[in-house]
A and B are shown apart, each in its own frame.
Chain A
Amino acid sequence: MKLEWLLVLLVLSDLRLLASGRLGAKIRTVAAQGVLLGLVPLLGSSGYPDAHAIAIAVAGMLIKGFLFPWLLLRAVRETRVNREVQPYVGYLASVLIGLAGLAGAFLLSRQLTPLPGKATSLLVTAALFSLFTGLFLIISRKRAINQVLGFLILENGVFLFGAGAMGELSLLVELGILLDVLVAVFVMGITLFHINREFDHIETNRLADLKD
Chain B
Amino acid sequence: MILALILVPTLCGAAAFLLGGTGLRRALLIGAAVAHAGMTALAWWRTPEPALAGWLSLDAPGLLFLSVTSALFLAAAFYALGYLAFEPHGNVTDLEEGFLFKNAPEAVFISCMLIFLASMTLVTVSRHFGLLWIGIEATTLASAPLIYFHRHHRSLEATWKYLLICSVGIALALLGNFFLGAAIPSSGGASSLLLDELLRGAGSLNPAWLKAAFVLMLIGYGTKMGLAPLHTWLPDAHSEAPSVVSALLSGALLNCAFLGILRIYQLCGAAGQGELCQKALLTFGLVSVAVGAIFILGQSDFKRLLAYSSVENMGLLAVGLGVGGVGTVGALFHAVNHSLVKGMLFLLAGNILVVYRTKAIAPVRGLLRRVPWTGALWLAGFLAITGTPPFSPFFSKFLILKATFDTGHTTVGVLLLFLLAVIFIGMAKACLSMSQGAPEPDEPASPARGWLTVLPPAALAGVALWLGLGIPLRLVSLLDAAAKALGGLR
Q: Do A and B come from one complex?
A: yes
Cβ of A135 within 8 Å of any chain B Cβ, yes or no, is: yes
Complex: chain B residue closest to A116, CB-CB: B182
Complex: chain B residue closest to A180, CB-CB: B137
Cβ of B196 within 8 Å of any chain A Cβ, yes or no, is: no
Structural contact, A166 and B178, CB atoms closer than 8 A: yes
In the complex, what's the smallest C-beta–C-beta distance from A128 to chain B, in angstroms?
Answer: 9
What bracket does the count of chain A residues touching chain B fall in? 35 or more
Instruction: Please give, as numbers and ranges, the residues of chain B lying within 8 Å of A114 by CB-CB distance.
Output: 206
* Given contact pairs A187-B141, A187-B163, A166 touches B182 in the complex (Cβ within 8 A): yes
Cβ of A71 within 8 Å of any chain B Cβ, yes or no, is: no
B145, B175, B184, B235 interface centre (most CB from chain A within 10 Å): B175
Structural contact, B154 and A209, CB atoms closer than 8 A: yes
Structural contact, B168 and A138, CB atoms closer than 8 A: yes
**Segment of A41-49, A82-90, A94-102, A190-198 engaged in the interface with chain B:** A190-198
Q: How far is the CA of A116 from the CA of B299 in the complex (A)?
A: 50
In the complex, what's the smallest C-beta–C-beta distance from B188 to chain A, in angstroms?
Answer: 14
Cβ of A184 within 8 Å of any chain B Cβ, yes or no, is: yes
Q: How far is the CA of A165 from the CA of B134 in the complex (A)?
A: 20
In the complex, what's the smallest C-beta–C-beta distance from A75 to chain B, in angstroms?
Answer: 14
Chain B count of residues within 8 A CB distance of the other chain: 50
Cβ of B273 within 8 Å of any chain A Cβ, yes or no, is: no
Instruction: Please give, as numbers and ranges, the residues of chain B lying within 8 Å of A162 by CB-CB distance.
Output: 174, 178
Query: A185-209: contact bitstring with B at CB < 8 Å (1 yes, 0 no)?
Result: 0011001001100110000100111
Cβ of B434 within 8 Å of any chain A Cβ, yes or no, is: no
**Segment of B20-28, B125-133, B317-325, B410-418 engaged in the interface with chain A:** B125-133
Structural contact, B153 and A165, CB atoms closer than 8 A: no
Q: How far is the CA of A176 from the CA of B171 in the complex (A)?
A: 14
Which residue from A113, A165, A208 sits with its C-beta under 8 Å from B178? A165
In the complex, what's the smallest C-beta–C-beta distance from A9 to chain B, in angstroms?
Answer: 21
Cβ of A37 within 8 Å of any chain B Cβ, yes or no, is: no
Instruction: Please give, as numbers and ranges, the residues of chain A lying within 8 Å of B163 by CB-CB distance.
Output: 184, 187-188, 191
Cβ of B467 within 8 Å of any chain A Cβ, yes or no, is: no
Structural contact, B304 and A151, CB atoms closer than 8 A: no
Structural contact, B160 and A113, CB atoms closer than 8 A: no
Cβ of A112 within 8 Å of any chain B Cβ, yes or no, is: yes
Query: B198-242: contact bitstring with A at CB < 8 Å (1 yes, 0 no)?
Result: 000000001011001000000000000000000000011001100
Cβ of A39 within 8 Å of any chain B Cβ, yes or no, is: no
Q: How far is the CA of A118 from the CA of B157 in the complex (A)?
A: 43
Known: A135-B168, A173-B134, A194-B156. 12 other contacts (CB 8 A): A111-B208, A147-B164, A151-B168, A165-B178, A169-B181, A169-B192, A176-B131, A177-B133, A191-B160, A195-B156, A209-B154, A212-B235
- CB within 8 Å of A: which residues of B? 128, 130-131, 133-134, 137-138, 140-141, 144-145, 148, 151-154, 156-161, 163-164, 167-168, 171-172, 174-175, 178, 181-184, 186, 191-193, 206, 208-209, 212, 235-236, 239-240, 295, 299, 304
Q: Which 6 A-B pairs have the closest CB atoms?
A: A173-B130, A116-B182, A207-B157, A210-B236, A176-B134, A180-B137
